[in-house]
Structure 1
């Protein structure tokens, strides 16, 4: 028997329920939606979560499609799922938790007696530590971004090889292998012996169905490779970036990009023009390094110093 919150599943069963993380302002219980898939045969435990950032919905799109497709009679081991982690941010379509204005993916491992975000982080982290592997499904917020997977434990971490293998199995085609900020789940969970990755499934307002399909394919690849489902997969070479450069605008105006997402650029290549409302170029920004055009802002208007785009740099084929 496997339990997560109020969801309890015997072998060869699927159950859904709620994981309590506190109370709302009216005193009603706040419960995160959870699912337990308990396979017919014994095996590893996989943890999956989505919507750690309240406006990042593509991971939820993956879970919405994944759970109804899974037949526990064909599963070995257990799959623990938290469908919506940032409960408060999700309900108002905001990145941070509006109750305490905190980014949840900087709060791990959390605190059972802390602020709202810390309590949610603690409850979900406690579940992560029961797993053998973890997938924290994200996207590039509401900006535009390639599909990629992030390894955040750092190259000197004892589980770096295992995390990198998990990212390669997930296979978005691009990997950002760079130590993450304190409090990220993909940085913190490996300290507890759980290989964890942070798939970034594009970037959109609402759902991007092509990124959701890539994420769903990635989860199934993980399920097959690690023995949760029968089947085999091919491991493909991917582009790995060990650096990440962000570019702001030197002028205020309207942005026009030269490369498209995923394009290779060389040092000195133009990245974008900033024009006035009449199309006159005020400034052209060029790449400082060779890299992949990784992410851009969604809206064309920018103020001086405002974020515009990012490159993945220090590339190799892994």
Structure 2
């Protein structure tokens, strides 16, 4: 059976690429999101993947550009639907938010087909996503430094929580943040429609990072094998899970000296970072409130009073 997505159309055992038209630019010309259909030779489940719903989070695009050339649809069971760049306008100028309406795209789901630019894009991609049996929404930690992890955002009381957690574990980055996310996230909206969804947050980089991209490519193929799109057994390894997240800012301006590396365990009272003057004079020492793992940290050393410095994943277990 032929599967279409925008102008892409693929019969069994075929791949096609095209565009999903979602509106017009300020000069009145139409624009479309880059899309792909990978239609397996055999019937099976449907996976939806998207990248760059935040315009400067490029590792997901890096994953897709490596994954698609490695797929042989004649060896695939089921269908993969892909939107390669969601936040079209932000991507063009390498910004996080859609500059047309100053909106963070991953707060706009499920969208509104008659709404703002971001709401229309969200509605169009949500319509595609809800054709699937599972969803991978590929992100990164913006330009901060961050662990490679997968986020389960539906909340532990959601009826699909266990299935979302299973999908995160199958992806297999090693770390999972299991914490209910803000309204408007795809990983919040799609489970309400009965579709397991996770946010792989593939590190953090200015531009993209090949190490995180490789982990993302491995994660996608882990999912494809685990859910039967591809032949082969896929072992599932235990993941380190954080169920809480504490953010730390600085009480003083100056230069930050982190005392922990990403992935390091921290204990209450241990020093996370110090702030000094340009001459090395101490100004502040910030300690951890809880036991956990250093999960994320700012990239640049200079800070003003109250600026974000780092985050600690808390309530840690192995599952």
**TM-score, length-scaled by structure 1:** 1.00
CA distance in 1, matches of 2:23, 2:282: 53
Count residues in correspondence.
Answer: 318
CA distance in 1, matches of 2:44, 2:234: 19
State the Cα distance separating 1:41 from its structure 2 match: 0.1
Name the residue aligned to 2:51: 50
Q: Is the partner of 2:136 in helix, strand or coil?
A: strand
Q: How does 1:248-259 map to 2 (within 5 A)?
A: 248-259=249-260
CA distance in 1, matches of 2:167, 2:161: 10
Structure 1's unaligned 5+ residue stretches are none
Offset from partner CA, 1:244-292 (integer Å, 9 cap, x none): 0000001000000001001011111100000000011111000000000
CA distance in 2, matches of 1:124, 1:149: 21
Q: Is the partner of 1:117 in helix, strand or coil?
A: helix
Are 1:132 and 2:172 matched, yes or no?
no
Offset from partner CA, 1:152-204 (integer Å, 9 cap, x none): 00000000000000000001111000000000000110000110000000000
CA distance in 2, matches of 1:158, 1:109: 19
Name the residue aligned to 1:89: 90
Q: Is the partner of 1:44 in helix, strand or coil?
A: strand
CA distance in 2, matches of 1:108, 1:169: 25
CA distance in 2, matches of 1:276, 1:181: 36
Runs of 4+ with deviation above 2 angstroms: none
Are 1:64 and 2:65 matched, yes or no?
yes
Offset from partner CA, 1:187-236 (integer Å, 9 cap, x none): 11000011000000000001100000000000000000001001111111
**TM-score, length-scaled by structure 2:** 0.99
Over aligned residue pairs, what C-alpha RMSD do you find?
0.4
State the Cα distance separating 1:19 from its structure 2 match: 0.3
Offset from partner CA, 1:63-101 (integer Å, 9 cap, x none): 001111101001000000000000000000000000000
Q: How does 1:171-210 map to 2 (within 5 A)?
A: 171-210=172-211
